[in-house]
Structure 1
């Protein structure tokens, strides 16, 4: 900030009350300390530092044996995804397979590094998996990354399904009847149930368009379930593809093929031993995970049978990427690309490419370049990617949910608090129900499971069932498809929506998180969620049930009805994103997409997102009321401050003459920009967690400049009526 000895010192005060603006943006409060002759303090909405200040700051500112066949024990090899640079001399050597270049460079790189490698599966014309024995994946990736014609080399990690863990808080018992609450997670919030997604108003706008396809990257699906079924049999399941390259992991007798049926993914104790096929994996029964998720996405609805899906008329494309002991990044990325309609070597073209890709899977670690590449290509096509945040009891968001460009979804209890198993942090975009059992004792029924389609087999498939209070489904895996299904309904109404617009509308239409009413069941109070914590040894610290904030659980709780209403009203939000530079102790907010992209990419040094934001809109709404805005002159900061408290607005104008109150209509510091509309800042009331006289209660709206609040330049800003489902489990 510009300033002198009497410059305003700005501190960001994160609201523990988790106030959020209408259409879901995070609200923040400033504590503004005035010069010595001003003894009183005022608290206001977040200051926006001028763009000129930002850019001023920026200016300163031995040979190994060759690997065995593809069905050899997977853990015996190092696996690395390597991508060649576009000008690599190796590119012309790629063989042609089905019109797509298939890179096969194991011998070349093996000769360079003095080791024997084997070619794994290809992801694209320039990227493939390389395999070797006797080294770790990390070591091999490090050596390959040093090669001059390699763009990147990253370990090919294993990812897993993300149902909740089987620990003592979750009851286990014999099969029983369906939960008395039915599909509580779809209906309107009521009473003790705060996190339901309010789907019926969305269905009154659209039941979905069959041309909108959701790809489910998972374990495959049981086509014999009567609430699913293939399109040819009167259902909604499209022919997909099995991208699992290792036959042992696929568990169906071969590698990649067109059969996406789930044979079961059980792991025996013998297989999990160090000498087994899957050393280090957990012995477990078959999960039928893809069938569980597919039911939430698109179970047949209004058919008088079973359950309802979020998208009654949208179609589901199963892409099998997870098998026994999970799946590798290379297969997952190949599945992502194929689902979006991109070419994958040796795979047939996808004739029904998806607009939404659901990924209820993940694993530890940062987002690496192979995912970044794929996500960039896929979102450029207009596809929305939704990923579950993970189930590590409040640790950092798993990968690939922590990748830029995806919508990461955390899990909520029925009451709207973060469910104990869900991960959290700044990477989370939004939250939705993940199911919970209300701290029951062993053998008691689970009260709030996620009811969905499944199979009764312990290992191989036996017959179709629905999960219930004794065979229950819990996890962020089931929060993600609630968001994916809603996104598909949005795209059914407005197919031209971009992934960024879908994300903005979903976040902008969320309901605020509750701040009271939680119960740990043991007399202890429910704490507020914190960003992921670590002990002195660097080990993640568990965070169980906690009150969500917008910097731990995303913008708010998914509201499908509000999202569809916003789409119909053609009023997408323009996000105003907050950044912080720790070395300079400066905060900055901008609404300009190019600046947001550059800041996120690290182009301008130390700016990082705080996770806080608000949204601006082109049109006012009936709930609107006044938000006052004050300009802080250059001598004191050259910034803006906002308040939604009428008392604070009036007191500030009287007591602090250094601050200039500006019009509540649109303000153009550089002159009116022809053809542009005023933006509207929107806030809504949330009850405070504690009493503090200067905490504004957001409930108001004000015009903002289209180019980012105080920009000195002009920028371009920019069905059928449904019945309630007749399915028995809805009641």
Structure 2
């Protein structure tokens, strides 16, 4: 059964099984009538066709029509399988589904076709200059007292703070730099995240959630990435064969709004919070809904965000330089993700992803894909926060939030304060609220956007910066991890982080707070100020070419005797001088 992928949440719970409702958004292709699996879950895979193959050349019947159904029909007839089509992921890749067949078995059958380049199981993924914004300096009535501590200059209490202030002293964000937030969507009515047309930082975006139950908005893919809420009820969680069985009972997370706030909330506007990007544009790309979302929608959203084509979807008029993905799940990097990362890097976009919240297990997919800037989470003192995953794929670490006092009902001291909505299920209109010391936000989900916002500032300084150069400057400007200052609160010693550990039974072992090393938590702690200064120093200013004028000898102009203006002869000048002297003598005589 496919493993789910979810927005990053700080929990060590085991991955949920991938569950999806029937075929609400699928195109039925009746080649036989297979029985559904016992739990009602169809197998889902992402199929990539070989370039130039007959299947890859099947074109859409209309300009924006999706060619996936035609390709699936042809593939079903070739293989003698009852297949159903999902949405396209790219020009030569799409989702294919089948009932009564395990995903791995379906993948093997399809991979045997000579026109198929690769097949990946389509798994669910889950949510894993100082401004005058009042919450920047100190939290509201419900805290935290530390306010947006993670953006301020580091000190002895919060050495993990990223020093966004000195970054802003060098350069605030450019409105021409776009950061795509691939998440649950956004609340366009939050006062710190208004649309560009209303003076805010948020671009129109797109909704890529193709499965209607997961989307929870009554439709499939469309041009409205608004977050309708992703709550799970007790009935949904316990329904046998239901789409959200064992997803966990939860209120709506407003996760995308929270991540977007950290990336680029309206800043220095006298209201609410400050965003790292401070002046950049935020592009909401909705790829997650109830119980997360599927790889196929995430990859399609990644491609579109970077300006690449997705069949059936209008072109993105504002391609992103930086793509933030605060989501993930178990597993190694699939061929589908690897191909997408390669294509995205080729057009100059950078992907930032959260490491995961499984308490020190291996880095999750897609953060573990080559080329991704994977971000681990830190406590305020610079140690790895307990929930963060770790490993050699981590590029660097940034604050993920921590509470210190875990007593029931106690205030969380160092959360990552950010934007949200007050609704527990459906959104409350114009609810411009923020997380606080009691309704707090922590997780590697909130470490990644601090890096994404910094990357956007770097691109604002140097628009032509390449993904390779940006990564190099970002990592080389980090601060070293501390080796003291950690406190477990129970008198035990904080250990050094180790590579992900697997026990004798083959299960991953938790690693809670530990002292980071460069092999477990990346190059060091994010230093936004140093990264932006390093980028500015790398800008080569080429002066305009200068030329030394060649001396020329003026050509004498003959006195033509005419009146015209312009050049004069020497004889004419002598005559003028004589007349002037005579006039002066006459004047003296008159005086």
Question: TM-score, normalised on structure 2?
Answer: 0.81
> Is 1:88 aligned with 2:53?
yes
Aligned to 1:484, the other structure's residue is in SS state: helix
How far apart, in 1, do the equivalents of 2:63 and 2:177 lie? Answer: 28
- Give the match for residue 372 of structure 2: 406
- Give the match for residue 425 of structure 1: 391
Whether the 8 Å contact between 2:321 and 2:456 is mirrored in structure 1 is: yes
Whether the 8 Å contact between 2:216 and 2:289 is mirrored in structure 1 is: yes
Higher-RCO chain (CA-CA 8 Å, sequence separation at least 6): 1
Whether the 8 Å contact between 2:24 and 2:212 is mirrored in structure 1 is: no
How far apart, in 1, do the equivalents of 2:23 and 2:162 lie? Answer: 49
- Give the match for residue 607 of structure 1: none
- Give the match for residue 614 of structure 1: none
Q: Please, which of 24, 42, 46 is the counterpart of residue 69 of structure 1?
A: 24
User: Cα 1:361–1:322, aligned 2, differ >3 Å: closer, same or farther?
Assistant: same
- Give the match for residue 173 of structure 2: 208
User: Cα 1:190–1:516, aligned 2, differ >3 Å: closer, same or farther?
Assistant: same
1:99, CA displacement in angstroms? 6.0
Q: Please, which of 235, 240, 245 is the counterpart of residue 205 of structure 2?
A: 240
1:106, CA displacement in angstroms? 2.0
How far apart, in 1, do the equivalents of 2:478 and 2:142 lie? Answer: 33
User: Cα 1:356–1:243, aligned 2, differ >3 Å: closer, same or farther?
Assistant: same
> Is 1:258 aligned with 2:223?
yes
> Is 1:416 aligned with 2:376?
no
Whether the 8 Å contact between 2:64 and 2:314 is mirrored in structure 1 is: no
> Is 1:192 aligned with 2:157?
yes
How far apart, in 2, do the equivalents of 1:68 and 1:317 lie? Answer: 29
Aligned to 1:308, the other structure's residue is in SS state: coil
Aligned to 1:202, the other structure's residue is in SS state: helix
Whether the 8 Å contact between 1:420 and 1:543 is mirrored in structure 2 is: yes
User: Cα 1:249–1:75, aligned 2, differ >3 Å: closer, same or farther?
Assistant: farther
Whether the 8 Å contact between 2:66 and 2:87 is mirrored in structure 1 is: no
> Is 1:501 aligned with 2:466?
no
- Give the match for residue 4 of structure 2: none
What CA RMSD, in Å, does the superposition of the two structures yield over aligned residues? 1.8
Could you report, residue by residue, the CA deviation over 1:456-508 in whole angstroms, capped at 9, with x for unpaired residues? 11101122211000000000000000000000000001111111111111110
Whether the 8 Å contact between 2:353 and 2:375 is mirrored in structure 1 is: yes
> Is 1:224 aligned with 2:179?
no
1:96, CA displacement in angstroms? 4.1
How far apart, in 2, do the equivalents of 1:252 and 1:411 lie? Answer: 32
> Is 1:468 aligned with 2:436?
yes
Could you report, residue by residue, the CA deviation over 1:543-567 in whole angstroms, capped at 9, with x for unpaired residues? 0000000000000000000011111
- Give the match for residue 705 of structure 1: none
| Structure (1/2) with the larger strand percentage | 1
1:71, CA displacement in angstroms? 7.3
Q: Comparing 465-474 with 120-129, which one deviates more in the overlay? A: 120-129
> Is 1:344 aligned with 2:310?
yes
Whether the 8 Å contact between 1:202 and 1:561 is mirrored in structure 2 is: yes
How far apart, in 2, do the equivalents of 1:92 and 1:569 lie? Answer: 48
> Is 1:477 aligned with 2:442?
no
How far apart, in 2, do the equivalents of 1:470 and 1:176 lie? Answer: 11
Whether the 8 Å contact between 2:158 and 2:380 is mirrored in structure 1 is: yes
Q: Please, which of 519, 536, 550 is the counterpart of residue 487 of structure 2?
A: 519
User: Cα 1:571–1:537, aligned 2, differ >3 Å: closer, same or farther?
Assistant: farther
How far apart, in 2, do the equivalents of 1:98 and 1:337 lie? Answer: 19
How far apart, in 1, do the equivalents of 2:397 and 2:44 lie? Answer: 34
How far apart, in 2, do the equivalents of 1:92 and 1:432 lie? Answer: 45
- Give the match for residue 114 of structure 2: 148
How far apart, in 2, do the equivalents of 1:181 and 1:93 lie? Answer: 58
> Is 1:562 aligned with 2:530?
yes
User: Cα 1:331–1:101, aligned 2, differ >3 Å: closer, same or farther?
Assistant: closer
1:70, CA displacement in angstroms? 1.6
Could you report, residue by residue, the CA deviation over 1:172-191 in whole angstroms, capped at 9, with x for unpaired residues? xxx96121000000011112
Could you report, residue by residue, the CA deviation over 1:631-651 in whole angstroms, capped at 9, with x for unpaired residues? xxxxxxxxxxxxxxxxxxxxx
Whether the 8 Å contact between 2:26 and 2:85 is mirrored in structure 1 is: no
| Uncovered stretches (5+) of structure 1, i.e. residues with no partner | 1-66, 163-174, 573-731
Question: TM-score, normalised on structure 1?
Answer: 0.66
User: Cα 1:231–1:363, aligned 2, differ >3 Å: closer, same or farther?
Assistant: same
Which structure 1 residue ranges, 4+ long, deviate > 4 Å from structure 2?
A: 71-75
- Give the match for residue 530 of structure 1: 498
Could you report, residue by residue, the CA deviation over 1:290-319 in whole angstroms, capped at 9, with x for unpaired residues? 000011011111111111000111010000
1:100, CA displacement in angstroms? 7.7
1:139, CA displacement in angstroms? 1.6
Whether the 8 Å contact between 2:178 and 2:319 is mirrored in structure 1 is: yes
Aligned to 1:266, the other structure's residue is in SS state: coil
Whether the 8 Å contact between 1:71 and 1:247 is mirrored in structure 2 is: no
> Is 1:393 aligned with 2:393?
no
- Give the match for residue 320 of structure 2: 354
Whether the 8 Å contact between 1:100 and 1:343 is mirrored in structure 2 is: no
| Structure (1/2) with the larger helix percentage | 2
- Counting only pairs closer than 5 Å after superposition, residues 49-64 of structure 1 correspond to structure 2 as none
How far apart, in 1, do the equivalents of 2:62 and 2:439 lie? Answer: 45
Aligned to 2:336, the other structure's residue is in SS state: helix
1:101, CA displacement in angstroms? 6.9
Whether the 8 Å contact between 2:41 and 2:241 is mirrored in structure 1 is: no
- Give the match for residue 452 of structure 1: 418
For these two proteins, the number of residue pairs brought into alignment is 495
User: Cα 1:267–1:511, aligned 2, differ >3 Å: closer, same or farther?
Assistant: same
Whether the 8 Å contact between 2:379 and 2:400 is mirrored in structure 1 is: yes
Could you report, residue by residue, the CA deviation over 1:130-180 in whole angstroms, capped at 9, with x for unpaired residues? 011011212211221121111001100000001xxxxxxxxxxxx961210
How far apart, in 2, do the equivalents of 1:99 and 1:277 lie? Answer: 29
> Is 1:79 aligned with 2:44?
yes
Whether the 8 Å contact between 2:153 and 2:165 is mirrored in structure 1 is: yes
